[in-house]
């Protein structure tokens, strides 16, 4: 077995303002951030601060090990640890209680407590592997760990494995590990970083995978997308992993934590650019009502192609063809009508491509679907179909309810409509920003001038004849 790769990666305060009785806590928080942030702002002075430290090691050829130590627990009335996604080993000062999908550990009263977690990175355990290991590294999910501590009848929660309790770069320890809130790579790797206005993008590449992934090109693509995709919700940091074989094809994103992974051998020069697709997910802060569930994947798929085109990685025809495919009578707002999970990626993305064009046409190129996206991100509460339709109307400057009701909330197929709009004769090509290019503008202006010149010159000749007639009349002698 390789030498253990270990490092203590965090130390945090476990006391906080009252949140809820311990009996009401059953699982993970929806985003994992708000409660932990509140803990850092409001602590009590009556009890000494408890602390937690975590050591990450390579636990075996196909295992990642997390050793968690809790200290300074005096003054605690009760304490529980809830664990998901890992096998609990060697608990000290804690005992198992209850059942269910998650393991629950109850504090036995000692000043200190500890437990060890083992996470499998054996790709063979799943038909769709999202983990992998080699002699040099191991990649897999970070387990869920929540500590619930009761003091004087109030319960504080903390998540010792998440970034809410970790400052700066302490989650990156040289080439020994790179750990996010949801994914971790333990072992030899490289980290590339790009900083754009308002955001830092980090790309983690395992050792030995450099020949599979062009890390510089991937980082440049993500950085340009971060700069140009103007939809709000630009959080300070994004963490991406190039996941090596035998991790499944495609990728996975956790928008609430601004993290994602993509199979390392995924091409950048494709309209189905998974790198951009997963990045777009990190910019989706909206909550979607059931009838708008399609928009999450549809918008990521559409902008994967659109941004790839704007970056010059795919041609206009390749982008247009990516929204082709067979006609679908599925109703996007009714998942029960979807023949499979591809419906949002196919009909949904195609509908958004047409809608984007319609918004650009209605606003003379000044607005686009990005403006709708930004409004949805800023919306307070779940985004319903009605909210979506109002946002489209506000951005376009006119109602598009009829079109939306037909193609989004109805079963009309988008294929024919898309082909008509994409191949409309006599219209200039749009440049990458959706406005007419300089050459196209010149051609259009020249054409319009030629069309207008005939009537204009005729009117000028009539005015000239009238002026000359008036001049002749003025020169005739009276009588």
pLDDT tens, position by position, 189-218? 999 999 999 999 999 999 988 788 999 999
Is CATH 1.10.390.10 the classification given to domain 286-424?
Answer: yes
Q: What pLDDT digit, counting tens, does each position of 261-289 carry?
A: 999 999 999 999 999 999 999 999 999 99
pLDDT of residue 162: 83
Measure the CA–CA gap between 29 and 19, rounded to whole angstroms. 12
Of 309, 342, 312, 341, nearest to 325 by C-alpha is 342
DSSP 443: H
Percentage of the residues of the chain whose pLDDT score is greater than 90: 59
Given a contact cutoff of 8 angstroms between Cβ atoms, the answer to whether 190 and 215 are in contact is: yes
The three-state (H, E, C) secondary structure of 292-317, written as one string: HCHHHHHHHHHHHHHHHHHCCCCCHH
Is CATH 3.30.2010 the classification given to domain 188-274?
Answer: yes
Region 361-378: mean pLDDT is 97
The more confident residue out of 18 and 461 is 461
Region 306-325: mean pLDDT is 92
142 has a pLDDT exceeding 80? yes
Query: Beta strand pairing status for 87-92 and 113-120?
Result: antiparallel
Choices 3.30.2020, 1.10.357, 2.60.40, 1.10.3470: CATH for 8-170: 2.60.40
Q: What is the mean pLDDT of the chain?
A: 80
Phi, psi for 449 (deg, rounded to 5): -65, -40
Whether the bond into 229 is cis, omega within 30 of 0 = no
pLDDT of residue 86: 94
38 has a pLDDT exceeding 60? no
- Sorting pLDDT into bands at 50, 70 and 90, what band is 130? confident
- Sorting pLDDT into bands at 50, 70 and 90, what band is 124? confident
Measure the CA–CA gap between 32 and 10, rounded to whole angstroms. 17
296 has a pLDDT exceeding 60? yes
pLDDT of residue 246: 87
Burial class (CB in 10 A: 0-12, 13-18, 19+), 124: exposed
Least-confidence region, from 11-25, 100-114, 430-444: 11-25
16 has a pLDDT exceeding 90? no
Looking up tokens 């970070």 gives 142
pLDDT of residue 126: 67
Secondary structure (3-state) at 337:
helix
pLDDT of residue 20: 33
Least-confidence region, from 37-51, 142-156, 346-360, 413-427: 37-51
Of 228, 345, 239, nearest to 296 by C-alpha is 345
- Sorting pLDDT into bands at 50, 70 and 90, what band is 396? very high
Q: What pLDDT digit, counting tens, does each position of 319-356 carry?
A: 988 887 788 999 999 999 999 999 999 999 999 999 99
DSSP 336: G
pLDDT of residue 123: 82
Q: What pLDDT digit, counting tens, does each position of 44-90 carry?
A: 333 446 788 998 989 999 999 999 999 999 899 999 999 999 999 99
Going from N- to C-terminal start, the domains of the chain cover 8-170, 188-274, 286-424
464 has a pLDDT exceeding 60? no
pLDDT of residue 33: 34
Fold equal for 188-274 and 286-424: no
DSSP 430: B
Query: What would you measure as the largest C-alpha separation in the chain, in angstroms?
Result: 128
pLDDT of residue 421: 55
- Sorting pLDDT into bands at 50, 70 and 90, what band is 34? very low
Measure the CA–CA gap between 186 and 273, rounded to whole angstroms. 27
Secondary structure (3-state) at 148:
strand
412 has a pLDDT exceeding 70? yes
Given a contact cutoff of 8 angstroms between Cβ atoms, the answer to whether 118 and 94 are in contact is: no
pLDDT of residue 420: 56
The more confident residue out of 216 and 34 is 216
Measure the CA–CA gap between 391 and 229, rounded to whole angstroms. 18
290 has a pLDDT exceeding 90? yes
The more confident residue out of 152 and 41 is 152
Helix (H) or strand (E) holding 32: none
pLDDT of residue 128: 62
């Amino acid at each position: 077995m390789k030498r253990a790769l270990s490092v203590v990666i965090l130390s945090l305060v476990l006391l906080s303002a009252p949140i809820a009785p311990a009996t009401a806590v059953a699982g993970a928080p929806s985003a994992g951030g708000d409660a932990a942030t509140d803990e850092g702002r409001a602590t009590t002075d009556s009890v000494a601060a408890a602390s937690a430290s975590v050591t990450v090691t390579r636990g075996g050829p196909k295992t990642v090990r997390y050793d968690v130590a809790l200290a300074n627990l005096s003054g605690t009335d009760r304490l529980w640890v809830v664990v998901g996604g890992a096998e609990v080993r060697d608990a000290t000062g804690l005992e198992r209680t209850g059942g269910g999908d998650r393991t629950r550990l109850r504090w036995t009263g000692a000043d200190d407590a500890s437990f060890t977690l083992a996470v499998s990175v054996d790709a063979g355990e799943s038909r769709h592997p999202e983990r992998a290991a080699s002699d040099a590294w191991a990649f897999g999910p970070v387990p869920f760990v929540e500590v619930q501590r009761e003091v004087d009848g109030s319960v504080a929660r903390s998540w010792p494995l998440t970034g809410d309790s970790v400052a700066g770069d302490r989650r990156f320890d040289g080439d020994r590990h790179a750990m996010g809130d949801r994914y971790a790579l333990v072992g030899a790797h490289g980290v590339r970083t790009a900083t754009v206005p308002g955001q830092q993008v980090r790309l983690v590449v395992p050792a030995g995978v450099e020949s599979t992934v062009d890390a510089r090109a991937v980082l440049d693509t993500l950085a340009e997308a971060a700069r140009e995709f103007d939809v709000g919700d630009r959080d300070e940091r994004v963490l991406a992993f190039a996941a090596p074989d035998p991790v499944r094809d495609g990728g996975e994103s956790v928008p609430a934590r601004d993290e994602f992974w993509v199979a390392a051998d995924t091409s950048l020069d494709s309209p189905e650019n998974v790198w951009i697709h997963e990045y777009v997910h990190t910019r989706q802060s909206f909550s979607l009502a059931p009838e708008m569930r399609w928009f999450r994947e549809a918008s990521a798929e559409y902008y994967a192609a659109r941004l790839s085109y704007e970056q010059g990685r795919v041609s206009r025809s390749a982008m247009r063809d990516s929204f082709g495919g067979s006609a679908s009578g599925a109703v996007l707002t009714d998942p029960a009508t979807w023949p499979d999970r591809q419906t949002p990626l196919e009909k949904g993305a195609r509908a958004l491509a047409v809608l984007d064009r319609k918004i650009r046409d209605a606003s003379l190129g000044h607005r686009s679907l990005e403006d709708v996206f930004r409004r949805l991100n800023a919306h307070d509460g779940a985004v319903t179909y009605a909210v979506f339709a109002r946002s489209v109307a506000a951005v376009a400057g006119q109602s598009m309810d009829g079109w939306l009701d037909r193609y989004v909330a109805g079963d009309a197929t988008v294929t024919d409509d898309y082909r008509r709009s994409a191949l409309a004769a006599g219209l200039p090509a749009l440049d990458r920003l959706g406005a007419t290019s300089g050459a196209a503008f010149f051609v259009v202006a020249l054409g319009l001038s030629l069309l207008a010149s005939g009537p204009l010159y005729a009117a000028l000749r009539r005015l000239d004849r009238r002026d000359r007639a008036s001049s002749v009349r003025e020169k005739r002698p009276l009588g």
